[in-house]
Amino acid sequence: MDDASKIDLLRFDLSDLDESVLHTIMELVSDGIWDWNANTGFVYRNPGWYTMLGYTPHSLSNTVLTWESVIHPEDYPQVMALFDDYLEQRSSKYQAEYRCRAHDGSYIWIEDRGYVIARNPDGSVARMIGAHRSIDDKKRLFEQLERRNKSLEAIIEERTRELSRVNHQLQIQLDENRRLAETDALTLVANRYRLEQALPLACERAQRFREPLSLIAMDIDDFKDINDRYGHAFGDAALVQVVQAVKRCERDGDLLVRWGGDEFIMILPNTSLADAVLMAETVRRGLSDLLPVGDFQITMSFGVVQRLEDETQEVLMDRADQALYRSKMAGKNVICN
């Protein structure tokens, strides 16, 4: 029997196993074994997976987000490209080497392999199993052997430390520059530039893991009248008040963006249309507690949409803008979807 036949037999046998039986077997394996049910989003990881990274077994969330969160940011794009190629059957196997963040904050090298053992009638993945194996010792040994082959090891190490110090200082400056470039100077929330980076990634993630993604487009009603009657200083103060009120409703993972002028966008990952409408209603009610600006009681209009399968970010944004326009036409201080 050739290797391909053995793999096919393994996939057949594993797909026939009861989940509880398979997971019991996986509990006995020392390597980091994982089992992803793509239809439910549930990911089982055996104790060996947690131990390898220094965590207490079964102490993290059983979702793909747990895996994503431990991948080194520099390795993430390459890992996801390999993963997507395999899921979409552009590649015959999934195998990757990358760094994972351990419980103590350090990174270790691991080898990751996975096999799809079941697909849905439409060809999408239904279930996939795989294994994470630490190759950190091998990587570190290779680095040590390289250093021993260099006659000027002490000088190189000293220069490396100095370079690391300089790089750290540069990284701090780069991070600060990036923060300033992605932040609205007045309201201190994300700006349009940040949205143009974050929304494509959110759409890709929603498509990859078949999770809902919703947007709320909102703007302040009659904001131009506030500026015209009381001046831009009062208008700016009103914007800051509104942002503070909206931020009180924001959840971990959400992103509030100043789209321009008095218009804002909120990205809501893993959120259905119904839940996004509830979020918009919470924000709308919260604005009633704000102090008026002269004769104006601050209100907002809202357009709420959920991303459709295979929908582009441009179409998604356009639908959100149209929903916002309908709320304006409906009399303002309302929510349309």
Active site residues: 262
Q: Which two tokens stand for residue 254?
A: 């959400």
**Closest-CA residue to 214 (of 306, 336, 311, 309):** 306
What is d(CA 13, CA 21) in angstroms, rounded to the nearest whole number?
Answer: 12
Q: The tokens 């102490």 sit on which residue? A: 59
CA 106, chain centre distance (Å): 21
First to last CA, the chain: 57
- The DSSP bridge pattern shows strands 300-306 and 335-336 to be parallel
